Amino acid sequence: MDSLRLRRTNIFYPTSRDIPDLRSLLRQLANENIPVSEAIVDDILEIEEARFASGLAATTGDEIESLIDVAKRTKALAPEKQRRCYFHVLRRYGLPKKLVKPELPLLLDAYADVVAEAHRGYPAITLSRLHGLLHFGYAPGFDLDRASPPDFEELRRRRVLWQTFGFQHLPGMLSRLAKFEPYSRDAAVVARLHALLGLIRFRTSDHTGKAYPLYDFSLWGMVTIVLMDASRRGALLGTLACERESLPLFNEHVDILGRIVTALGDPAVSQDVARILGN
């Protein structure tokens, strides 16, 4: 990449492996006592937007959040610019780590912007289908409860739930299934997860074959929570059984389900699985 400079201010923009290094830029500005102005924010976002439009790798969500923090302190972040910052955080990462209640409408609008650009696909948009559905109630092609967007406290609760799915491998999840028990006793949470799983028919993406993301622990965490609820378990398993001929890697899904059931160690769950899925 040629030397990168901010267009309006002509400030040198460091890069790393041909990717703009926003963290280094912000450190450089601080070291030189240059306050982040509206012109600097506009320059940074202009570069980010151009790289997004071209499908090029850009800055990380954490870096964009650092820009938001600094620009808010210098009063250089207009609401429409903050919405675009949230767009770039969401499209590549997920919910921003820092969010205050008055800014929730900006985040909801930014997510709508992400959905509108979802046709660009990976790597421009890496936010998962399940992330969008759980937090916001809709995703491209799916409407769970879009008409009832979450308030600030509900969004925080959904984020905490999502964080319980943060496993790197199946044995790690199987060893900590107790994390899901409190959610399995919350009727509203179970009902919503059950509806979500039924809506997507257990499909976490539109990929097929080897590209299909079988080990999506947000999916398996949701499945486990609903399995723990005896009143909804049979309906959930029935939905899975109906996908026998159409769900990619169906037998592999059932194998993982079997490992979860074994780890749960509840005879009632095992009996329901054997009765409905024949395993």
- In the chain, where are the structural domains located? 164-279
Can you give the pLDDT at residue 190? 98
Q: Report how far apart, in Å, the C-alpha atoms of 69 and of each of 35, 41, 75, 141, 207 are.
A: 12, 12, 10, 34, 37
Model pTM? 0.93
Q: Which residues does 21 contact at the CB level (< 8 Å), separation at least 6?
A: 13, 14, 15, 59
DSSP state of 34: -
Going by pLDDT thresholds of 50, 70 and 90, the confidence category of residue 42 is very high
* Cβ neighbours of residue 220 closer than 8 Å, sequence gap 6 or more: 165, 170, 173, 256, 260
- Which pLDDT band holds residue 206 (cuts at 50, 70, 90)? confident
Mean pLDDT of 63-80: 96
DSSP 2: P
DSSP codes joined into one string, 114-132: HHHTGGG-TTT----HHHH
Place of tokens 């923090």: 69
According to DSSP, the residues that pair with 19 across neighbouring strands are 16
Q: What is the pLDDT of residue 201?
A: 96
Helix/strand/coil for 150: coil
Q: CA-CA distance, 241 to 130, in Å (whole number)?
A: 21
pLDDT of residue 168 exceeding 70, the answer is yes
